[in-house]
Amino acid sequence: MKAKALKPAADSRRKTAKLWQLRLYVMDQTPKSVTALTNLKKICETHLKGRYRITVIDLLKQPHLAKGDQILAIPTVVRKLPMPVRTIIGNLTDAERVLIGLDLRAEG
Amino acid sequence: MNKNGAKTIPSPILLPKCRTGIQGLDEITGGGLPQGRPTLVCGGAGCGKTLLATEFLVRGAVMFDEPGVLMAFEETEKELKANVASLGFNLDGLVRRKKIVVDYVHIERSEVQETGEYDLEGLFVRLGHAIDSIGAKRVVLDTLEVLFASLPNEAVLRAELRRLFRWLKDKGVTAVITAERGREQLTRHGLEEYVSDCVILLDHRVNDQIATRHLRVVKYRGALHGTNEFPFLIGEEGLSVLPITSLALNHKVSNERIATGIPRLDAMLGGRGFFRGSSILLTGTAGTGKTIISSNFAHAAGQRGERVLFFSFEESPNQIIRNMHSIGLRLEPMVKRGLLRFHSARPSLYGLEMHLATMFKEIAAFKPHVVIVDPLTSLMELGTISEGKGMVTRLIDYLKAEQVTTLFTSLTQGGHALQQSESGMSSLMDAWLLLQDFEGNGERNRVLYVLKARGMAHSNQIREFLISNHGIDVVDAYIGASGVLTGSARVAQGDLEKAAVLASQQEAAQLKREVERKRKALERQISDLRADYESEASELRRIAEQVGTRTLLLGTERAASGRLRQADAKVGTSTRGKSRNGRKN
């Protein structure tokens, strides 16, 4: 697993502040995968600045990891933390739905 | 996997087939599923799709050394293992030995948010990884259609499924895809559109509260296949399709004869009883003694030291033992010696298929010489006539192949119509004994006759049989001008005949006495006549004497008068001469 970005929690205004762990499952460098990563980063920077961590998993290199998070669709984002686990599939073009999917609406 | 010795139909087209190892399925499909192609198995809930698919994998791994991947969308790995363990499949062991990979795919729709474009490459990756990890030759996707509920975008899903099936073909794996039966089409989501090589339809039908499973090969591209519906069983050793039509009639036959336990009945069957390995039907109305004759047969086999398996669908073992004891037939020593085993079950306990499977299992375990099914009719009522006949055919074929003599009893309701319906069954039987009631004179009597006995001279006579404390006694029924007489009528007729004999004897004696009397009378008459004659004869003699005396006296008187006259000088020297001379003078 390659840590693409790791930012310490800098936003002290939020009392609920905690580290968000996101996993992005991709398959090679397909356009869908690239778009998904770009979109995800953008959303995280906007809403979770400094308290998120994205792990990108390339199933072409690590196919055995697909089973663990029940991955079927590519690309898929899995929110490992905070609990509960949430899953978003698709290239994340619709930011609004991503926020709903990540349950960020209330905080945003 | 061909216990019955039936050969699979060789396909004229050289389409490589992948043997499933499932009993009967390979016979129907002419050798198995199309190799390297996907096969669709569809059917309603609870008709055995998952089981068929799992067995395909397990048998492949165990029997043909073809590892397999099971991708389960409905049940978890743990659930699957537990489910198939009850059927004798050690899925866990196969997984540990890397013969099978189980991958449980699960998506909770409520936990998934969809946004933007995606594909199902994850599924491909997982499947590909599983296949490559053990070098799988077989793949099962059970049940792929769950994805339609999990993923909101059907268009993407359909495109991906199409790609998946093509990908499976490219991989060269033989795949089984299960799907729910749809209302108007074979599957709920039209999967048959993608899988077009082979489609198998499973069905679970309830007839008269009893469920029977059926299997039909709807489509098999490029190969001959049985198009009929075949009943199939889910037994303790997995699935078993019953292809009635493909069983060949080529079992061995025996010339050995076995006694029935009733000497007179043996006498009726050419003196030596039934052939070993034959199937015997014993029909009769209620209370005609079917179970008694069966028990006698069982007892006789036990005396020979043979094993008997008694399937009883109406009475419990203890009840049969007690009842037979009352006629002097002791079965419990046989049970104790392990020569007799009962299997009692209510017919309605489960469907025909299950009964058949249980019977096969019992027979295989006990290896009996004689099997008794009492009564067959209770079983037949569970299904339609054709189903029942199919079942009996299969049972008989199986038993004949094993050289087991089988006695089926059949309850008829009396009358001719039923005897006719029975004839459909009787054509499968080698021998047919009929038990009948004769009612009359305020009593009911049992008669027995041999309706048919293939391959042996047999009696055409109706015999009466009596059940007493000592068992069965077969006696000649009275057959005369007034028909067949049984029971007291037979006894009465016997008495009547005796009386007639006595009467004629008496008559003869009477006549004899009469003649004697006449003879005596005649003799008396003769003696009377003789007496008469003798008295007359003696009279005659007396008269003759008198005449002589008188003549003498007359001569003397003349001489005296002559002397007196002195006419003649010589007196007394010759009276006659003198008298003659004198008279001449």
pLDDT above 50 for B297: yes
In a domain, B12, yes or no: no
Closest partner CB to A88 (pick from B113, B121, B147) = B113
pLDDT above 70 for B418: no
H/E stretch holding B142: strand B138-142
DSSP B425-446: HHTT-SEEEEEEEEEETTEEEE
Whether B440 and B509 map to the same domain: the answer is: no
Whether B74 and B51 map to the same domain: the answer is: yes
Residues with pLDDT less than 50, chain A:
1-15, 107-108
Whether B237 and B261 map to the same domain: the answer is: no
Q: How far is A68 from chain B (nearest CA, A)?
A: 10
CA torsion through residues B353, B212, B237, B344, sign: negative
- What are the distances in angstroms from CA A53 to CA A3, A62, B328? 8, 20, 90
Pairing of strands B100-104, B238-241: unpaired
Is B442 or B243 the better-scoring residue by pLDDT? B442
- Tell me how far apart the alpha carbons of residues B298 and B243 are, in angstroms, rounded to a whole number: 31
Q: Where a domain ends, among B221, B246, B271?
A: B246
Whether B242 and B266 map to the same domain: the answer is: no
Pairing of strands B370-374, B308-312: parallel
- Tell me how far apart the alpha carbons of residues A107 and B134 are, in angstroms, rounded to a whole number: 47
Structure tokens at B136: 């799988």
Most confident range (mean pLDDT) of B413-417, B425-429, B445-449 is B445-449
Taking CB atoms and an 8 Å limit, are B126 and A63 in contact across chains? yes
Q: Which residues lie closer than 8 Å to B25 by C-beta, 6 or more apart?
A: B32, B52, B215, B239, B241
Q: pLDDT digits over B29-59, tens only?
A: 888 888 888 999 988 888 888 888 988 988 8
Q: Where a domain ends, among B180, B211, B246?
A: B246
Q: Which range, of B16-20, B248-252, B549-553, averages the lowest pLDDT?
A: B248-252
Query: How much is the pLDDT for B584?
Result: 45
Fold of A19-101: Glutaredoxin (3.40.30)
Partnered with residue A79 across adjacent β-strands are A22, A86
Is the separation of the CB atoms in A18 and A51 below 8 Å? Answer: yes
H/E stretch holding B311: strand B308-312
Most confident range (mean pLDDT) of B235-249, B428-442, B483-497, B545-559 is B545-559
Whether B143 and B209 map to the same domain: the answer is: yes
The whole-number average pLDDT for the span B251-265 is 84
In a domain, B5, yes or no: no
Domain ranges across chain A: 19-101
pLDDT above 70 for B414: no
pLDDT above 70 for B11: no
Whether B77 and B150 map to the same domain: the answer is: yes
- Rounded to the nearest integer, the mean pLDDT of chain B is 82
Whether B344 and B195 map to the same domain: the answer is: no
Whether B470 and B502 map to the same domain: the answer is: no
Q: pLDDT digits over A6-19, tens only?
A: 444 444 444 455 78
Whether B281 and B185 map to the same domain: the answer is: no
- Tell me how far apart the alpha carbons of residues B470 and B504 are, in angstroms, rounded to a whole number: 37
pLDDT band at B368 (very low <50, low <70, confident <90, very high): very high
Q: Which of residues 36-65 of A touch B (CB under 8 A)?
A: 36, 39, 59-60, 63-64
Is B546 or A84 the better-scoring residue by pLDDT? B546
Q: How far is B157 from chain A (nearest CA, A)?
A: 10
CA torsion through residues B423, B428, B434, B435, sign: negative
Query: How much is the pLDDT for B306?
Result: 92
Whether B122 and B242 map to the same domain: the answer is: yes
Structure tokens at B266: 């043996």
What domain range is B514 assigned to?
485-585
User: How much is the ipTM here?
Assistant: 0.80
Whether B509 and B462 map to the same domain: the answer is: no
pLDDT above 50 for B435: yes
Q: Which residues of B touch A (CB under 8 A)?
A: 103, 105-107, 111-123, 125-126, 128-129, 147, 151
pLDDT above 60 for B2: no
Q: Tell me, yes or no, if A83 comes closer than 8 A to chain B by beta carbon.
A: no
Cβ contacts from A onto B, under 8 A: 97
In a domain, B3, yes or no: no
Number of domains forming the structure of chain B: 3
Closest partner CB to A71 (pick from B114, B115, B122) = B122
Q: pLDDT digits over B450-478, tens only?
A: 888 888 888 888 888 888 887 778 877 77
Q: pLDDT digits over B565-584, tens only?
A: 776 555 455 445 444 444 44
**Within 10 Å of residue B209's Cβ, how many Cβ atoms?**
8
Q: How far is B128 from chain A (nearest CA, A)?
A: 9
Query: How much is the pLDDT for B372?
Result: 93
Q: pLDDT digits over B22-33, tens only?
A: 877 887 888 888
Structure tokens at A95: 């930011």
- Tell me how far apart the alpha carbons of residues A9 and A7 are, in angstroms, rounded to a whole number: 6
Pairing of strands B483-485, B478-480: antiparallel
Terminal C-alpha separation, chain A: 29
Whether B136 and B174 map to the same domain: the answer is: yes
Is the separation of the CB atoms in B81 and B94 below 8 Å? Answer: no
Query: How much is the pLDDT for A5?
Result: 47
Is the separation of the CB atoms in B44 and B181 below 8 Å? Answer: yes
**DSSP summary character for residue B182:** P
A90 CB neighbours in chain B (<8 A) are 114-118
Q: pLDDT digits over B491-532, tens only?
A: 777 788 888 888 899 999 999 999 999 999 999 999 999 999
Backbone region of residue B390 per phi and psi (left: phi > 0; alpha: psi in -120 to 50; beta: other values): alpha
Partnered with residue B139 across adjacent β-strands are B69, B175
Closest partner CB to B122 (pick from A32, A66, A92) = A66
Q: How far is B316 from chain A (nearest CA, A)?
A: 54
Q: Tell me, yes or no, if A66 comes closer than 8 A to chain B by beta carbon.
A: yes
Of B22, B24, B21, B20, nearest to B39 by C-alpha is B20
- Rounded to the nearest integer, the mean pLDDT of chain A is 78
Instruction: Residue B41: give its domain's CATH number.
Output: 3.40.50.300
